[in-house]
Amino acid sequence: MKIFPAIDLKDGKAVRLTQGDYSKVEVFFENPLEVLDYFNSNNSENLHIVDLDGAKDGSTQNYETIKSIVENSNFFVQVGGGIRDEERIKKYLDLGVNRVILGTIAVQNEAFLIDMIAKYGDKIAVGVDAKNQKVAISGWEEVVELDSLDFCKRLSDIGVKTIIYTDISKDGMMTGTNLEVYKKLKEFVKSDIIASGGITYKEEIVELAKENTYGAIVGKAIYSNLLNLKEIIELAKPKEA
């Protein structure tokens, strides 16, 4: 299983929100580049970047910060937040981003999503943000009448290779993640699933890896030293038979 340390960007700074609430912002690094050394020294190979300003209003004010991160690292980088047209997709891929995550637009415009998958294949992922098992969009500010598990099944059926499933109620709460939902998804979704939202304990990493989950995103728990990044990367590796 792949571990994706998360950098959430707001106003060019690395921050974390609690339950996606833009009024509950905790700044961890004024300069997000500082965290790259930490990720490097702890054997990280992957990076999950969220443009929170982009997710909320589609703005591009964190683009230069993302550009600096990509240019100054050798990670496999996936980026999400405010990517709602092909121009932005192309801009990120041309920059060297390995995978872009579509959120709001994937909910609102399936034809566009199918077109982008046809053009860019597995470089397109979809982020499914769930609140009480309903899909949330626009930086989690709006919840639509769409069952999140049904939506994942649909995404899998139309050929989405990777789904990042976030349980908003768990995100940033440091109380653990929703392991049950990931077990459920494995039963009927062919896509690779990346677990996100509230991963706090190393036992959860072990459990997710045991279920053959493709990846796990960790944020606040590593910034708050509740999880040791190097240790969980080791725990996530396949065990020798």
Q: What residues are annotated to the active site? A: 8, 129
With beta carbons less than 8 A apart as the criterion, state whether 194 and 166 touch.
no
**SS3 of 155, please?**
helix
Report the helix count and the strand count for the chain, using DSSP H and E: 11, 12
Q: Residue 208: CB partners within 8 Å, gap ≥ 6? A: 1, 179, 182, 195, 199, 216, 236
Q: Which two tokens stand for residue 134?
A: 């309903």
Q: What are the strands, taking DSSP E only, across the chain?
A: 2-10, 13-18, 21-29, 46-51, 76-80, 99-102, 124-131, 134-137, 142-147, 162-167, 192-196, 215-218
176 φψ region: left (φ > 0), alpha (ψ -120 to 50), beta (else): left
Closest CA to 181 of 214, 136, 132: 132
CB environment 192-207: b (16+ within 10 A), e (fewer): bbbbbbbbbbbebbeb
